[in-house]
């Protein structure tokens, strides 16, 4: 005989319960589906009956509009007629679609549609006669009872179609009632039977499983107690190891931070030294440019002084020329006076010469005045030139002193730049060494972090194992209590 496991017995019990539920579900589904189909068919039947009623009502509305127009002759009375024609055509179209699954009704519709067309043709003919020939011509057609006979035929076919739909409705009512009774029977009898069956199967499986588990639970309790003791000791050791590694990691992290700070300081010193070296080189170049500029200024000041001295000498020469011109103007005035005297002595013959002598005298006077003005201006120029010569000499001396001082400052800046360059090179070497130390500390810190994570994972795993052992022990005790073995 095959020995079933606990899982197999449990699965078998669930399978039987699910099978019972499945059977009940299938029965309920089939009955519910029949109810839904019956309801849909009933609704479909009522819809066909409604369209048949709409057809008769539409034809009656068309007759009402026709009669009103025949009696009164106003177009407003044709509104019911026009609406009735549209409604009648719509009803026939809907009936054709709704009864497409019923050949008998389709055959009746094939007879009904020409009758409706004839009836509408009779109504239209009387309206046309009323328009063209008057009321009497239209009434002559009405008195033939053609319209009444056609309407009676239509009502008869509609009555037959209604009778068919009523028959279908009764059959569908019976089908729906049978489905409802079947569903009630499944609910009232099937569910209690299924519940009793499931309870019996559950009781048998439970007794079988309980008997099988009693022997295993005692062994589980003993084994779980031993595992719990072992994992507790391992968890305590792992916790101590994790604490020690955490302390070491913290120490390494502090050393790493100190190394980072020292490396950053060395880097800042190196950067500042490089900036100072660059600035000193710029200052050195600026000092050399200043020395060259001071020499150029000295050369230009000497050239200016020479030109000012030459200008002073030329001013003196101009003064001598002005003295000569002034003497010439005085002599010309004297000659003009003498010429005027001699012209007066000559009488009529000397009048022309007298005018010339007067003009020469006037020119001599103007030359004398101009010479005085030039002498005044030249005197001011000579004063300014003397002051410029003195200032040029003083500027040359000052520039000479500045050249000497600039040379001394340039030499001092050159020596300072050389010292700063050496200091910058040394600081770069220090920063490189600090960076190498920092890389080593990073590696040590990463290694300690890995050790810390491994120890923490080890401690966590031991804790989990301890918790699992504790849970296993509790589960064994709980199962023993559940089946009454403890």
Q: Is residue 121 a part of any domain in this protein?
A: yes
Report d(CA 165, CA 159) in Å as an integer. Answer: 10
**Predicted pLDDT of residue 400:** 80
What pLDDT, in 10s, does the model give residues 434-448?
Answer: 677 677 667 857 866
Q: Is residue 346 a part of any domain in this protein?
A: yes
Same domain, 295 and 443: yes
The answer to whether 426 touches 269, Cβ cutoff 8 Å, is no
pLDDT (mean) for 271-285: 77
**Alpha-carbon dihedral angle through residues 94, 96, 98, 102, given to the nearest 10 degrees:** 160
The answer to whether 127 touches 69, Cβ cutoff 8 Å, is yes
In eight-state DSSP terms, residue 100 is T
What pLDDT, in 10s, does the model give residues 280-338?
Answer: 788 778 768 866 877 885 788 778 568 767 877 777 776 786 678 678 778 877 887 78
User: How many structural domains compose the chain?
Assistant: 2
Final residue before a domain boundary, out of 97, 112, 144: 144
The answer to whether 135 touches 73, Cβ cutoff 8 Å, is yes
Q: Which two three-digit tokens encode residue 52?
A: 């048949």
pLDDT (mean) for 396-417: 74
Radius of gyration of the chain (CA): 68
SS3 of 145, please? coil
Final residue before a domain boundary, out of 105, 123, 144: 144
Number of neighbouring beta carbons within 10 Å of residue 439:
12
The torsion angles phi and psi of 2, rounded to 5 degrees, stand at: -70, 135
What pLDDT band is residue 378 in, cutting at 50, 70 and 90?
A: confident
**Predicted pLDDT of residue 123:** 92
In eight-state DSSP terms, residue 188 is I
Same domain, 137 and 277: no
Domain of residue 427: give its range.
273-449
Report d(CA 459, CA 234) in Å as an integer. Answer: 8
The torsion angles phi and psi of 134, rounded to 5 degrees, stand at: 105, 180
Same domain, 433 and 291: yes
Report d(CA 85, CA 66) in Å as an integer. Answer: 11
Final residue before a domain boundary, out of 89, 123, 144: 144
Contacts of residue 82, defined as CB under 8 A and 6 or more positions apart, other chains included, come to: 65
Handedness of CA 28, 33, 38, 42 (dihedral sign): positive
Q: Is residue 352 a part of any domain in this protein?
A: yes
Number of neighbouring beta carbons within 10 Å of residue 254:
10
CA distances from 224 to 4, 66, 471, 486 (A): 26, 102, 9, 15
What pLDDT, in 10s, does the model give residues 97-111?
Answer: 999 989 999 999 999
Q: Is residue 224 a part of any domain in this protein?
A: no
**Predicted pLDDT of residue 409:** 66
Q: Is residue 251 a part of any domain in this protein?
A: no
Rounded to two decimals, what is the model's pTM?
A: 0.37
Q: Is residue 235 a part of any domain in this protein?
A: no
What pLDDT band is residue 345 in, cutting at 50, 70 and 90?
A: confident
Q: Is residue 50 a part of any domain in this protein?
A: yes
Q: Is residue 160 a part of any domain in this protein?
A: no
């Amino acid at each position: 005989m095959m020995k079933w496991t606990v899982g197999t017995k449990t699965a078998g019990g669930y399978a039987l319960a699910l099978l019972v539920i499945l059977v009940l579900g299938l029965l309920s589904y089939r009955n519910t589906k029949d109810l839904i189909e019956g309801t849909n068919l009933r609704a479909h039947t009522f819809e066909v009956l409604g369209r048949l009623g709409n057809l008769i009502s539409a034809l009656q509305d068309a007759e009402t509009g026709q009669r009103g127009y025949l009696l009164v002759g106003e177009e407003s009375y044709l509104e019911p007629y026009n609406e009735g024609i549209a409604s009648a055509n719509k009803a026939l179209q809907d009936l054709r679609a709704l009864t497409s699954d019923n050949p008998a009704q389709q055959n009746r519709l094939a007879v009904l549609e020409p009758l409706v067309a004839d009836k509408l043709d009779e109504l239209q003919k009387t309206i046309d006669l009323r328009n063209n020939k008057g009321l009497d011509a239209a009434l002559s057609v009405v008195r033939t009872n053609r319209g009444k006979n056609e309407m009676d035929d239509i009502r008869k076919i509609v009555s037959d179609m209604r009778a068919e739909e009523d028959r279908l409705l009764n059959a569908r009512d019976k089908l729906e009632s049978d489905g409802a009774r079947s569903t009630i029977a499944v609910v009232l009898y099937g569910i209690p039977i299924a519940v009793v069956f499931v309870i019996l199967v559950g009781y048998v499986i439970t007794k079988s499983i309980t008997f099988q588990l009693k022997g295993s639970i005692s062994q589980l309790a003993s084994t779980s107690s031993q595992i719990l003791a072992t994992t507790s000791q391992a968890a305590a050791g792992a916790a101590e190891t994790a604490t020690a590694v955490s302390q070491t990691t913290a120490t390494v992290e502090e050393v790493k931070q100190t190394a980072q700070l020292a490396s950053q300081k060395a880097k800042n010193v190196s950067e500042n030294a490089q900036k100072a070296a660059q600035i000193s080189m710029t200052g050195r170049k600026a000092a050399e440019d200043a020395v060259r500029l001071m020499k150029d200024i000295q050369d230009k000041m000497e050239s200016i002084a020479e030109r000012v001295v030459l200008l002073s000498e030329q001013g003196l020469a101009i003064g001598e020329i002005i003295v000569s011109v002034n003497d010439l103007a005085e002599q010309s005035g004297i000659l003009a006076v003498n010429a005027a005297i001699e012209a007066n002595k000559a009488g009529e013959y000397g009048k022309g010469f007298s005018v010339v002598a007067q003009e020469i005298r006037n020119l001599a006077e103007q030359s004398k005045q101009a010479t005085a003005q030039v002498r005044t201006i030249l005197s001011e120029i000579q004063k300014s030139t003397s002051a410029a010569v003195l200032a040029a000499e003083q500027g040359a001396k000052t520039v000479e002193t500045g050249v000497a001082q600039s040379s001394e400052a340039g030499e001092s800046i050159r020596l300072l730049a050389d010292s700063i360059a050496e200091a910058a090179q040394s600081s770069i070497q220090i920063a490189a060494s600090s960076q190498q130390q920092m890389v080593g500390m990073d590696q040590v810190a990463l290694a300690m972090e890995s050790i810390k994570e491994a120890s923490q994972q080890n401690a966590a795993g031991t804790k989990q194992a301890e918790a699992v052992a504790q849970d296993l022990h509790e589960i064994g005790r709980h199962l023993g209590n559940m089946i009454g073995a403890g």
